[in-house]
Amino acid sequence: MAPHSGSSITPMDLLRICDGLVIQQALYAAVKLGVADLLQDGPRSTSEIASQIEVHEPALYRLLRALATQGVFEETTGRTFANNQLSRFLCTGVPGSVRSMVGFAAASFSTSVLARSFIASRPGSRLDRSCLGNRGNTSGIIPSSLVSSMMR
């Protein structure tokens, strides 16, 4: 990647690089939850999907919105999503499926706070403190406000 000229560099350039891990973890969560498979027969609302797979609907909506902004899935109407050409490759058993590869690529991060918070979004569940390291002590790596909001 070519360096930017000094006047056009902003902090957003660095933050965009960080988005890669967030999107990888969102893809991992979508694969683990089987979302693309659930959308094979057509668009479904996040409340329908959340009810079927027993996850928190607002968290599922945020997950699918994040992926839709990257061209994975399509929000057809408010809170209703469908597969698109790209998300079809996350389906089980379709020609060209990369479902297993997405799961494998993210496996080394599968215990990260972000992935665990997406997957463990079932009502009444709490984020497993073991994924935060030494008895939940993040040592300032993860902002305490973020940890607190995920522990609720």
Q: Which two tokens stand for residue 95?
A: 């020609």
Domain chopping of the chain, boundaries: 11-125
pLDDT, one tens digit per residue, over 58-114 is 999 999 999 999 999 999 999 999 999 999 999 999 999 999 988 877 766 544 666
Answer yes or no: are the C-beta atoms of 69 and 83 closer than 8 Å. no
Burial of residue 97 (CB within 10 Å: 0-12, 13-18, 19+) is middle
Span 11-125: which CATH code?
1.10.10.10
The pLDDT assigned to 2 comes to 55
User: Is the model more confident about 19 or about 127?
Assistant: 19
Q: Among positive and negative, which fits the CA dihedral 106, 89, 59, 126? A: negative
Question: Dihedral (C-alpha) 65, 68, 72, 75: value to the nearest 10 degrees?
Answer: 100
Comparing 29-38, 49-58, 136-145, the range with the smallest average pLDDT is 136-145
